Amino acid sequence: MQVSPLHPLFAAELVGADLSLPPDAELVRTVEDAMARYGVLAIRDAEISDEQQKDFSRAFGPLELPSRVKGASRPVGTRHYTPGIFHAGNLDHNDEVIPYGSDPKSLAKGAERFHTDSSFHTMPTKWSLLHGVETPPPSVGGDTWFVDARAAYDDLSETMKARIENLVGLHDFWEGRKLAGFKAEITPDMRLVIPFPTVRHPLVRTMPYGRKALYIGGHCFGIEGMDLDEGLALVEELYAHATQEKYIYRHQWRRWDLVIWDNRSTMHAATPLLSDEYRRDMRRTTINESGPETSAYEWMGLGEAA
């Protein structure tokens, strides 16, 4: 196995790992060390099944399971959905391409703002692992951009570091969608469909290996104890700083890439796939630092696993 950097600050690729086999101690150590150093790791040629992806993910922490509101019906269609897998891309429940922009109420544009998976709930999130089962040519879009929030923190002035050290950010699924450009009024019925309340997380997180990182993903809309406008202004100032060109790695997908990122120390954003000619089938597992294998809804008493 060989780990090679992809960016001057962070992100690397791992070549030569066989994820079709149960992960052994050498593979687990290699991945853990690479993630601590680089924050984002692309494992090439990972032609594996959903079950193998889940088995590999579990070597690093318990799965976060997809959530479902209590009593809600499961998707109806011909497409198979593997339990424990978050499905993304441009395919509908019948495995057909969804025309780009066809649903004016779509929430998908939220993913096009730099964000952190799972910051809108209270589970102890660790990593996300996204598998490119079907990927379009790089020339038509669909890249994923990543930000190193550790390097962004390191470059802050000492005055700003002191100012934000003990602040707590407010994170909300729906407020994050508004920041991403979702124009429709957010109604009580919409909050019943996706019922996450506002949650609180430290604005600065310290990683297990000692580095600090900004925790300001796209769902962060304010600061506890601050006026709403003042808090949002500070969040947006930090967001603008962290998303400068020098902190961004752009990942152009190859089929069967498995890309891992640390939700505690990076942000990421999707770029739109503007052509309806190509299928994009992406499958994500998310793992937590600790706890049971459960959904965020179950964890917070809001629903059940999908």
51: domain CATH number is 3.60.130.10
pLDDT, tens digit, for every residue of 131-145?
Answer: 999 999 988 889 999
Instruction: Say how far apart CA 131 and CA 128 lie, in whole Å.
Output: 10
Instruction: Say how far apart CA 183 and CA 177 lie, in whole Å.
Output: 9
Cα-Cα-Cα-Cα dihedral sign, residues 189, 217, 113, 261: negative
Instruction: Say how far apart CA 59 and CA 56 lie, in whole Å.
Output: 6
Instruction: Say how far apart CA 240 and CA 19 lie, in whole Å.
Output: 37
163: which residues sit within 8 A by CB, 6+ positions away? none
> What pLDDT score does 69 carry?
83
> What pLDDT score does 107 carry?
56
Instruction: Say how far apart CA 199 and CA 62 lie, in whole Å.
Output: 21
Of 89-103, 140-154, 227-241, give the lowest mean pLDDT range: 89-103
pLDDT, tens digit, for every residue of 56-79?
Answer: 999 999 999 999 887 777 778 889
pLDDT, tens digit, for every residue of 12-43?
Answer: 999 999 999 999 999 999 999 999 999 999 99
- The residue range of the domain holding 202 is 2-305
Cα-Cα-Cα-Cα dihedral sign, residues 202, 290, 287, 303: negative
Instruction: Say how far apart CA 260 and CA 195 lie, in whole Å.
Output: 27
What's the pTM value of the predicted model, to 2 decimals? 0.95
The number of distinct structural domains making up the chain is: 1
Helix and strand numbers (H, E) in the chain are 8, 19
